[in-house]
Amino acid sequence: MIWTVVRVGLLRMWHGRTEILLTFVVPIVFFTVFAFIFDEQIGLGKSPKVNLALVDEDHTPLSRDLLSSLAESEMLRVYSPAEHGAGPHIFNSVDPAEDLVLAGALPLAVLVPDGWTDSLMTAESEPISLQLLADSSDPVATQVVTALIRQTSGQVLAELARQQIATVLSLSSDQFSASAVARFTKPVGIDVVDLFAADKANPVVSMYAAGIAVMFLLFGAVGNSGTLLEEEENQTLDRLMCSELSMTQLLAGKWLLMTVVGIVQVTVMFAWAQLAFGVDLLGHLPGFMVMTVVTAAAAGSFALVLATLCKNRVQLNAVAIILILCMSALGGSMVPRYVMSETMQEVGKLTFNAWALDGYIKVFWRDLPLADLAPELTVLVATAIVLFVVARLTARRWERS
Amino acid sequence: MAEDMIEMARTPAGAEGALRVREVVKRFGGTTALDGAGLVLRRGERLALLGPNGAGKTTLVRCICGLATPDSGEIEMFGHLLPPSGGREKLGFVPQEIALYPDLTARENLEAFGRFNGLRGSRLDESVMWALGWTGLADRSNHLIKTFSSGMKRRINIACGVLRRPPVLLLDEPTVGVDPQSRERIFAMLEELWRQGTSILLTTHQLDEAEQRCDRIVIIDHGRVIAEGTLTELIAETVGVNRRVVFTLAGPVPKLDGLEADDERRELVAEVGDVALELPEMLVRIREAGGRVSDLEVHSPSLHSVFIHLTGRELRE
């Protein structure tokens, strides 16, 4: 009897190809996506370089040596604007570098403040710290660069110490402790200046809220679009097509419903994030609403395309699970994109999760005005329109055979 | 508008009929589903469309509804050529499946399909009220469809197709899967529409429905209409009006002229034109041959025998 139960189950699985797909293929696909994200051995790219700007307000040989050594690190990519010619550019003042970080162009800027070298050479006062102007939405970059500065500055200062060692050798123990060279035996001070999070309540939560919201927006939309296939199966679609309703009106109605439900879904999620975690939704309402409307609209069109391409609800669910999980993984809904290799970050740009999340980050993290959302809005609106047109074309199979 | 449509249906029958299908051909790849099918639904008529599975009934219905585009041929309604899609405001369609939203109430379903068919405001309200009364489900109007019995769902399913009171109604197996009581109720509803002037074309697998509930019958097979007429006409044209008499005997008898016998010679069959005149004479001949009749059956020619005669197949094959 037990064997019969097992046999029936296996036979049903064998006859239902979708179940086999979900059981065996989806885990492999999903594993492969995450392997590409985390494993640099596969060949799609190495660990990401940290983009940063270098600022020298000290203008001394020591500060130049330090920044030049940093610029040679393979783990860093120093900001090199075309107008300043080839090679790494070192800013003379902090303002333009800070603007780049605030605009989201770079996650970090290393600043050697004015008087840093002098403070190292003087024993009377505490040495000035280097400053790391950080966008802490990418905490990994901050930690990597902090470690690199410590390593590089140690090497630079060791060289300086070697040059002065002869002088030091003639000093007594007390005189050595009072000399500047003693400073070189201590690690250089680094102050991390978070340019974003300082005056915000739980800003990182808003990014995760956006990531999760976009993923479930897609799942919700696909669930809703599946009603088309149910209507096909029970001939309600035939009845509708015999009425005054056109296919375009039917799809537009479904799309509008999915968009409105999606907007409410994301809004409820962020409202909860505000209540429970202090995310400042009300303070970013215009940007949030614009991003949510276009994201929900794009998700609705995406779901319509899937529904019009699939033969039945089971197939739709299988395809949707694979696509949405992959898009969410690559687009940053599950894992922040900054931990991915550069290649995978570029691949992620093919998903609209990535564009949606970039938009929400601009709104909640960078406090950028609506005009700065133009790239994300353009991509998402275009996605919504193009996918709706594709859905309309593929839905022709339901109109007349 | 509904009154206008009914009035049109009541207009004395013209040459054009309510619905006329001419030489419709429809192919799906290498398969010819309809091979020059044609039929006429007269005004105020109930027409049954019969055929074995795969004969082309559903494709024909889909062509009439505009859900499939014929490769060639014409479909007219009240003398006007129908376009491939649209232009079917005078046509009501009831699909075979329960094409309703199970998680809406009966009233909500009726309102939704009324709106999809262009009804608004007081006309919509009136139509919904009429439909609830017509189906006898006014007291269940606020119950979800998924809580209904199969027969109740069928009644609402039909009601959603006639909310606009179309003068021509197409029903695809409207009583499949319902109990006899619900079936009676459904046909009572359809008869009410018919009495008001609606022309009805229905496909069915129930021969008794075609025999008893329809004025004429069309039989389709291999994509072509192979017979069309009243039951009497079909019988006369095919199996003839003779009764089939079957004698079951207690023991074997010798061969008798005009009587076919089975291998064991215990069952004799005869075609009889006048039962009252010929049957006594046959009984005498059997007795004189030494046979003793233990049972006797007289079969009238039926739609079933016509169908088998024409298609060589049972209806559900």
pLDDT digits 0-9 by tens, B217-250? 999 999 999 989 998 888 888 878 788 899 998 8
pLDDT at A287 over 80: yes
- Torsion angle in degrees (nearest 10) through CA of A20, A23, A27, A28: -30
Q: Which helix (H) or strand (E) holds B303?
A: helix B303-311
Q: Which helix (H) or strand (E) holds A228?
A: helix A203-233
Domain count along chain B? 2
Calculate how close chain A gets to B102, using CA atoms only, in Å: 11
Calculate how close chain B gets to A228, using CA atoms only, in Å: 12
pLDDT digits (tens, 9 = 90+) for A40-77: 544 455 556 788 889 988 888 888 888 888 888 888 88
pLDDT, position B315: 58
In degrees rounded to 5, what are phi and psi of residue B269?
-125, 140
Which domain covers residue B176, as residue numbers? Answer: 2-90+166-236
Calculate how close chain B gets to A50, using CA atoms only, in Å: 54
What's the CA gap between B311 and B302, in Å, rounded? 14
The answer to whether residue A58 is domain-embedded is: yes
> Looking at the complex, does the CB of residue A175 fall below 8 Å from at least one CB of chain B?
no
Sequence-distant (≥ 6) Cβ neighbours of residue A301 within 8 angstroms: A255, A383, A384, A385, A386, A387, A388, A391
In A, minimum Cα distance to B67 occurs at A400
What's the CA gap between B255 and B286, in Å, rounded? 10
Given the DSSP bridges, would you call strands A130-134 and A108-112 parallel, antiparallel or unpaired? antiparallel
What distance lies between CA B221 and its chain's CA centroid?
Answer: 15
**Are both B171 and B287 inside the same structural domain?**
no
**Are both A221 and A276 inside the same structural domain?**
yes
pLDDT digits (tens, 9 = 90+) for B91-133: 999 999 999 999 899 999 999 999 999 999 999 999 999 999 9
Calculate how close chain A gets to B292, using CA atoms only, in Å: 55
Q: Given an 8 Å threshold on Cβ–Cβ distance, is A235 in contact with B95?
A: yes
Q: Which of B272, B239, B268 is nearest to B254 (CA)?
A: B268
In degrees rounded to 5, what are phi and psi of residue B171?
-125, 125
Lowest model confidence (mean pLDDT) among A23-37, B14-28, B51-65, B236-250 = A23-37
Lowest model confidence (mean pLDDT) among A37-46, A110-119, B255-264 = A37-46
The answer to whether residue B100 is domain-embedded is: no
B136: helix, strand or coil: coil
**Are both A210 and A195 inside the same structural domain?**
no
What's the CA gap between B55 and B39, in Å, rounded? 15
In B, minimum Cα distance to A241 occurs at B67
What's the CA gap between B227 and B303, in Å, rounded? 12
Interface size A-B, in CB pairs within 8 Å, comes to 55
Segment B188-216 mean pLDDT? 91
Segment A251-270 mean pLDDT? 93
Best of A232, A243, A250, A398 to disrupt the B interface (most B CBs within 10 Å) is A243
What's the CA gap between A235 and A223, in Å, rounded? 19
Give the residue with greater pLDDT, B253 vs A376.
A376
Strand partners, B22: B74
Which domain covers residue A253, as residue numbers? Answer: 202-398
Q: Which residues of B fall within a CB distance of 8 Å from A239?
A: 93, 95, 99, 113, 160-161
B199 contacts B45 by C-beta, under 8 angstroms: yes
Q: Report in angstroms the alpha-carbon separations of A206 from A264, A348, A357, B92.
A: 17, 20, 10, 53
Calculate how close chain B gets to A239, using CA atoms only, in Å: 7
What distance lies between CA A318 and its chain's CA centroid?
Answer: 26
Q: Nearest CB to B97: which of A235, A245, A400?
A: A235
> Looking at the complex, does the CB of residue A177 fall below 8 Å from at least one CB of chain B?
no
Query: What band does A38 get if pLDDT is binned at 50, 70 and 90?
Result: low
Strand partners, A52: A78, A108
pLDDT, position B6: 46
What's the CA gap between A2 and B309, in Å, rounded? 51
Q: Which helix (H) or strand (E) holds A346?
A: helix A342-348
The answer to whether residue B307 is domain-embedded is: no
**Are both B86 and B29 inside the same structural domain?**
yes
Segment B44-72 mean pLDDT? 92
Question: CATH number of the domain that B177 lies in?
Answer: 3.40.50.300
> Looking at the complex, does the CB of residue B44 fall below 8 Å from at least one CB of chain A?
no
What's the CA gap between A300 and A22, in Å, rounded? 23
pLDDT digits (tens, 9 = 90+) for A218-256: 999 999 999 999 999 988 999 999 898 999 999 999 999
Looking at chain B from residue 138 to 177, which residues have their Cβ under 8 Å from any Cβ of chain A?
Answer: 160-161
**Are both B77 and B199 inside the same structural domain?**
yes
Q: Given an 8 Å threshold on Cβ–Cβ distance, is A243 in contact with B113?
A: yes
**Are both A172 and A210 inside the same structural domain?**
no
Cβ count near A368 (within 10 Å):
17
Looking at chain B from residue 77 to 116, which residues have their Cβ under 8 Å from any Cβ of chain A?
Answer: 84-85, 88-89, 91, 93, 95-101, 113, 116
pLDDT at B8 over 60: no
Calculate how close chain B gets to A399, using CA atoms only, in Å: 6
In A, minimum Cα distance to B71 occurs at A401
Best of B103, B117, B153, B171 to disrupt the A interface (most A CBs within 10 Å) is B117
Domain boundary pick from A159, A180, A199:
A199
Calculate how close chain A gets to B274, using CA atoms only, in Å: 50
**Are both A165 and A288 inside the same structural domain?**
no
Calculate how close chain B gets to A222, using CA atoms only, in Å: 19
- Percent of chain A at pLDDT > 70 equals 85
The answer to whether residue A26 is domain-embedded is: no
What distance lies between CA A370 and its chain's CA centroid?
Answer: 19
Q: Report in angstroms the alpha-carbon separations of B50 from A355, A387, B161, B201, B227.
A: 58, 44, 21, 11, 10
Q: Nearest CB to A234: which of B99, B116, B118?
A: B99
The answer to whether residue A16 is domain-embedded is: no
pLDDT digits (tens, 9 = 90+) for A325-350: 889 988 888 877 777 777 788 888 89
Given the DSSP bridges, would you call strands B216-221 and B46-50 parallel, antiparallel or unpaired? parallel
Q: Which residues of B fall within a CB distance of 8 Å from A238?
A: 62, 65, 67, 93, 95, 99
Calculate how close chain A gets to B267, using CA atoms only, in Å: 48
Best of B26, B82, B116 to disrupt the A interface (most A CBs within 10 Å) is B116
pLDDT at B1 over 70: no
In A, minimum Cα distance to B103 occurs at A227
B264: helix, strand or coil: coil
pLDDT, position B13: 43
B20: helix, strand or coil: strand
**Are both A360 and A263 inside the same structural domain?**
yes
Q: Nearest CB to B100: which of A233, A236, A241?
A: A236
**Are both A66 and A170 inside the same structural domain?**
yes
What's the CA gap between B60 and B26, in Å, rounded? 9
**Are both A256 and A394 inside the same structural domain?**
yes
Domain count along chain A? 2
Q: Given an 8 Å threshold on Cβ–Cβ distance, is A244 in contact with B117?
A: yes
Domain boundary pick from B193, B216, B236:
B236
- Average pLDDT of chain B? 88
Q: Which residues of A fall within a CB distance of 8 Å from B161?
A: 239
pLDDT at A192 over 90: no
In A, minimum Cα distance to B33 occurs at A401
**Are both A247 and A221 inside the same structural domain?**
yes
What distance lies between CA B227 and its chain's CA centroid?
Answer: 14
The answer to whether residue A1 is domain-embedded is: no
The answer to whether residue B148 is domain-embedded is: no
In A, minimum Cα distance to B112 occurs at A240
Q: Which residues of B fall within a CB distance of 8 Å from A236?
A: 97, 99-101
Query: What band does A129 get if pLDDT is binned at 50, 70 and 90?
Result: confident
- Asked if ipTM goes beyond 0.85, one says no
Exposure class string for A60-98: b at 16+ Cβ within 10 A, else e: bebbbbbbbbbbebeebbbbeeeeeeeebbbbeebeebb
> Looking at the complex, does the CB of residue A126 fall below 8 Å from at least one CB of chain B?
no
**Are both A327 and A220 inside the same structural domain?**
yes
